[in-house]
Amino acid sequence: MVDYQYAAKTITDELSAALHNIDSKEVDELLRKIQKAEKVFFVGVGRVLLSLEAIAKRLAHLGIKTYIVGQVTEPAITENDLLIVGSGSGETAFPLIIAKKAKQFNATVAHIGADPESSMEKYADTFVRIPVRTQLELPNEIPSVQPMKSLFEQNLLLLGDTIALMIVREQNIEISNLWKHHANLE
């Protein structure tokens, strides 16, 4: 039987290695674009979408207008808005189609992924690389023993929480005041 403590340490070591190898300048650029945008839209598929939904919710707690592409109440995207694409490969069809469409409306597009030279490159104004293992075996990839793309999805979620904390600290937001943005029909 595999020891829980060993497995947990393995995962947290992988997370730490990947998070500490994300370029802080890329994150700062994404942060500025989030703060500048009137609305922030998110697109991804599968477990990446689940991480993006959590990020959108966290940013909404900070008073940022966030939307998931395809949700019933999604408004129109404009040149004043930001689309954040989560796609490790940068080759996933649906996010590519949505990024292309967003550019047709002159929106800013940010890609969070593992491959800076993917097909998404032609649409992205900003790129944040999460340097985790891919099928491409790119330089400086953080290896993982976890199944599939777990390390990418986990780092995506933690990157979102890191950006939220950066906003809280930069704007001196009192944490207790954030409850006014929390769902209250629970």
The boundaries of the domain holding residue 81 are: 24-169
Instruction: Provide the CATH number for the domain around residue 131.
Output: 3.40.50.10490
1 within some domain: no
182 within some domain: no
147 within some domain: yes
52 within some domain: yes
What is the domain count for the chain?
A: 1
| Rounded CA separation 49/70 (Å) | 12
Q: What pLDDT is attached to residue 125?
A: 98
Q: What pLDDT is attached to residue 169?
A: 94
Q: Which residues are catalytic?
A: 153
Q: What pLDDT is attached to residue 69?
A: 98
Q: What pLDDT is attached to residue 62?
A: 94
Q: What pLDDT is attached to residue 99?
A: 98
CB atoms within 10 A of CB 97: 11
Q: What is the pTM of this model?
A: 0.94
**Run means of pLDDT, 10 residues per run, the chain, 186 residues:** 90 95 97 98 96 97 96 97 96 97 98 95 97 80 86 96 96 85 80
179 within some domain: no
175 within some domain: no
Q: What pLDDT is attached to residue 134?
A: 76
Q: For residue 178, what are the contacts with CB-CB under 8 A and spacing of at least 6?
A: 61, 62
Among 112, 121, 107, CA closest to 43:
112
